[in-house]
Amino acid sequence: MAELGKNISVLLENATKNLSSTVNEAIQNKNVKLPSGLNAFLSNGHAQNQELTPSQVVEGLNSSSDKEIQTSLKYLVRLMTTKQNSDPELLQYFPHVIKNITSNNLRTKRLVYVILLRYNHMQQDIALLSINAIQKSLTDKNCINRALAIRTLSGIRIPAILPILILSIKRTISDSSPLVRSATAVAITKCFLLDSSFNKHRDLASALKDDSGIPAQLYNFLAILLSDTDSRVLSSALNCFYTIFPGYIDLIHPRFSHLVSKLIELEDYSKVILIDLATDYARLYLPKPAEDSMAAELTLLDSKLRSLIYSPSANVVLSLVRFYINVLPFKLDEIPLAKMLAKFLGDNEVTVYVLNEIVYLLDRKLVSFSDSQLSYYVPLPNELFKISELKVRILVKLLNAQNFDQIFAELVFLLNTASTQLKLAVVRLLNQYHGTPEQKAKIGQLYLSRLDSETEELLVAEYVTGLRIMVQNDLFGNIDVLLKLTGKLVNESELSPVARASIIWLVGEFSNHQYHDDKSLALGNFLPDLMRILVRDFREQEYMVKVEILTALTKMVSKELYASKQQGEEYNYESMLWKLFNLVLQFTKYDSSVDLRDRSRMIGSILPNVVYLDEDLTATTAIEFQQYYGQKAHVLERCADKLHEVELSILLFQTSKPAPVSTDSSANNNNINKYNLVTPQELNPELLEYYSELRAQEFQLKDYSQHKSMSHAARPPPVVSSATTINIEPRQSARKYKLQTLDDFLKEKGKMNVFGGSEDESGQEDEEDEEGEADELANDDDDAHDSESEKSS
């Protein structure tokens, strides 16, 4: 058994060596014939990553074997898409690639088209040699080849081919295949953009008045495509209209009902274009709808849109919602908006836009959710922060008396388990919530309970900010909250600077009010001792804390000064608050912060003090208040003179502050807001009859479904030089198409301009006669199509 196993292993090893040597020999020498299965393996697997030398690429491109040509073309396409800065290397193969454009193999032709579209503008002379071959493909029996030909011809970025492209579009626009007509719409867009790139300062409105100009011809071609009955053609035509003629509604007026009737059959991107177009059109050109009366066009549009309510495309649903918001808001109750939008909560990219749309609707009270639907908007652990933040925003907007406990419990759970970034978002959104006093009390208790255990400074600051908003909105109703915050200010030295500054600001605001109950009186009597504790560590405090201490002391002292003046009594300069005020002024007068020194100088110029009135005081001099009652009594006299200006300090520091208004960041979501907005203009009643006449205009409905072949398949396309104007050869019976090079064509036709006419007058006359014949043939085809469509209707 051991010897048998050894023999089998030797046999397999020899077979592997023979196979590898055969494969290597086959790669190096193409004359070696391999089995069909091994050939398929090499062509599909090994050759995909095979590196070819320049000589091998050129040899493959010039080979007579389609497989070798495709191998070289695939290698070039792979380099083109994966290798950076590969253009100089690939341009050397461009002439050899163009030679294969006449191949009958569809795969080969597609690969050549890909490379041609990439490098045609870099080697224009060589790219122009492919024009005749592409034109020949326009009469191919295969509709795929015809569609590829017109798309490729329009993708060549050489302005000299514009006349040729216009003629080709004129031919393919009446093709029996909807695939070709759809590709023609794409060609119209590319032709317009190519022409516009070389006429950047052209006025489109004036250019459309010139019937012989390119924009006017493309405008007429687009009108024909918009009259098509095939939904695929209409989809491409609407995209073309939206890209190059978005404001020219004259194309839409007579075809509005026709387009709406095809809405359900269109592609999703075209549905969005048409619905958005219909939204603006209804406001500008249709009478304002009411519940009991609507225009026939709106009734048709409403019936079509209702079948798109459960469309799988989020873009279609968002455009549908935009239509009903701006045109038929009284029908929003009949549409299940909550279910429509909730089904898209999965894909991250789509979810962001859908959630923003829900926030937009909630802000305007246009949508409502049941309690069973709230679970859709609970943030999940692995979601993006942006999605979680939007879901929390929706939950906060949905808070009411019935579901407050349910949603509040979810928000508390997030504060215990979520990331710091999401916790901050939850607290900020709760700070913006305007609920009942009982609900605000629950939120306040939550903030106070978490202040002791929270270690994140930003979260502590947000808790204090929320409490500050509550206290400022109802000071005496939340006096207990202020007392607890004051206790934390004294007992806890690890509060963040933002939290300390917010509490000190609240204390200063509280000092401006009159005290009514025992709690407020007790807190008012405690204020001097509180300020004494804060001033003790003034030098070590952060900048924002120093500013709030100075501001709070200024409010308290100005209140005392004004009260003594109102009562006609002399101010008691032995007050603890006045002494603390002077001490803080001395600290801030020599502080390192420029802003703090400016604030100190401004306050010192308004209120009586000894820091700025006594010239002997310096940064290192201790203030001895006793000497101002004896030796330096003149300083107090100057302070008494300043009491006459105390009203200014009252205006600055004692004016009551308005309640804070929380700003909702969803208002800054410009993308959704801009999308849902429509033109503010509405229909002028005097023009209603005129617009009705425009919509009643007749147009030729193009129905090519009864034609089995191209209307122009019997006649070959004109052979046109890329460097000349359109010049159609006279038709001859049984004339065989002859593929010519550019030089041969120029020798026969003579020298001509790129965009103008021929220098030879006889050439111009022949061109006009031949164009007339081509137009007559096209008109005959159109008349035949119209008569057949009338018979069928």
- Please state the φ and ψ torsions of residue 93, each to the nearest 5 degrees: -95, -5
| pLDDT one-digit tens code per residue, 350-394 | 999 999 999 999 999 999 998 889 999 999 988 899 999 999 999
Taking alpha carbons only, the member of 536, 581, 591 closest to residue 554 is 581
Amino acid 636: pLDDT: 81
d(CA 372, CA 393): 18
Confidence of residue 774 (pLDDT cuts 50, 70, 90): very low
| pLDDT one-digit tens code per residue, 76-96 | 999 888 888 888 888 999 999
Amino acid 407: pLDDT: 94
d(CA 171, CA 778): 8
The answer on pLDDT for 422 being more than 70 is yes
Q: Which structure tokens are listed for 28?
A: 């190096």
Confidence of residue 21 (pLDDT cuts 50, 70, 90): low
**Mean pLDDT on 280-291:** 92
**pTM for the whole structure:** 0.73
d(CA 67, CA 484): 85
The answer on pLDDT for 792 being more than 50 is no
Lowest mean pLDDT among 172-186, 452-466, 592-606, 737-751: 737-751
| pLDDT one-digit tens code per residue, 91-110 | 999 999 999 999 989 899 99
Q: Tokens 């208790």, residue?
A: 445
Most confidently modeled range among 43-57, 278-292, 739-753: 278-292
Whether 278 and 238 have beta carbons less than 8 Å apart is answered as no
d(CA 445, CA 467): 9
Q: Is the dihedral of CA 192, 150, 242, 226 positive or negative?
A: positive
Distances (CA, A) of 546 to 13, 482, 592, 793: 85, 20, 12, 86
Map residue 160 onto helix, strand or coil: helix
- Please state the φ and ψ torsions of residue 634, each to the nearest 5 degrees: -65, -25
Q: Which structure tokens are listed for 652?
A: 């600055």
Taking alpha carbons only, the member of 283, 255, 304, 120 closest to residue 684 is 283
Map residue 623 onto helix, strand or coil: coil
Map residue 474 onto helix, strand or coil: coil
Residue 444 half-sphere exposure toward CB, CA atoms < 13 A: 24
Amino acid 769: pLDDT: 42
Q: Which structure tokens are listed for 151?
A: 């798309």
Query: What amino acid is encoded at 565 in this protein?
Result: K
Taking alpha carbons only, the member of 450, 360, 372, 437 closest to residue 411 is 450
The domain segmentation of the chain, as residue ranges, is: 1-49, 252-335, 433-536, 547-661, 710-792
Distances (CA, A) of 243 to 152, 188, 248: 19, 10, 11
Taking alpha carbons only, the member of 404, 387, 478, 393 closest to residue 432 is 393
Confidence of residue 187 (pLDDT cuts 50, 70, 90): very high
Distances (CA, A) of 760 to 749, 753, 763: 9, 11, 5
Lowest mean pLDDT among 541-550, 700-709, 752-761: 752-761
- Which residues, in sequence order, are CB contacts of 298 under 8 Å at separation 6+? 282, 286, 289, 327, 328
d(CA 202, CA 758): 25
Whether 721 and 746 have beta carbons less than 8 Å apart is answered as yes
Confidence of residue 12 (pLDDT cuts 50, 70, 90): low
d(CA 552, CA 510): 10
Distances (CA, A) of 783 to 419, 473, 703, 771, 786: 70, 77, 12, 18, 5
Alpha helices by DSSP H, listed for 364-496, are: 385-397, 404-417, 420-431, 437-451, 457-473, 479-491
Amino acid 255: pLDDT: 94
Q: C-alpha angle 95/96/98, rounded to 5°?
A: 65
Query: What amino acid is encoded at 657 in this protein?
Result: K
Q: Where are the beta strands (DSSP E) in 644-739?
A: none
Q: At what angle do helices 479-491 and 518-536 cross, to 10 degrees?
A: 20
Query: What amino acid is encoded at 53 in this protein?
Result: T
Amino acid 492: pLDDT: 75
| pLDDT one-digit tens code per residue, 103-131 | 989 899 999 999 999 999 899 999 999 99
Amino acid 358: pLDDT: 94
Confidence of residue 16 (pLDDT cuts 50, 70, 90): low
Q: Higher model confidence: residue 4 or residue 729?
A: 4
Burial class (CB in 10 A: 0-12, 13-18, 19+), 42: middle
Query: What amino acid is encoded at 599 in this protein?
Result: R
d(CA 571, CA 528): 17
Amino acid 669: pLDDT: 62
What's the mean pLDDT when you consider all of the chain? 81
Whether 497 and 545 have beta carbons less than 8 Å apart is answered as yes
**CA 13 and chain centroid, separation:** 60
d(CA 497, CA 635): 36
Lowest mean pLDDT among 452-466, 531-545, 566-580, 769-783: 769-783
- For residue 417, the tally of other CB atoms under 10 A from its CB is 10
d(CA 113, CA 477): 77
- Please state the φ and ψ torsions of residue 669, each to the nearest 5 degrees: -80, 80
DSSP for 480-538, please give it: HHHHHHHHHHHH-TT--HHHHHHHHHHHHHHHTSPP-SHHHHHHHHHHHHHHHHHHHTG
**CA 640 and chain centroid, separation:** 64
Residue 498 half-sphere exposure toward CB, CA atoms < 13 A: 12
Whether 123 and 87 have beta carbons less than 8 Å apart is answered as no
Indicate the length of the chain as a whole number.
793
d(CA 617, CA 170): 94
- Which residues, in sequence order, are CB contacts of 442 under 8 Å at separation 6+? 408
Task: Name all contacts of 484-487 with Cβ < 8 Å and 24+ positions apart.
Answer: 484/448, 486/523, 486/526, 486/530
Confidence of residue 521 (pLDDT cuts 50, 70, 90): confident
Map residue 228 onto helix, strand or coil: strand
Map residue 702 onto helix, strand or coil: strand
Amino acid 19: pLDDT: 52
d(CA 33, CA 44): 17
**Mean pLDDT on 36-63:** 69
**DSSP summary character for residue 752:** B
- For residue 39, the tally of other CB atoms under 10 A from its CB is 13
d(CA 625, CA 558): 19
Whether 379 and 422 have beta carbons less than 8 Å apart is answered as yes
| pLDDT one-digit tens code per residue, 673-718 | 888 888 888 888 889 999 999 999 988 888 887 654 444 443 444 4
Amino acid 665: pLDDT: 53
Amino acid 727: pLDDT: 34
Q: Higher model confidence: residue 507 or residue 512?
A: 507
d(CA 583, CA 535): 8
**Mean pLDDT on 579-599:** 91
Amino acid 43: pLDDT: 52
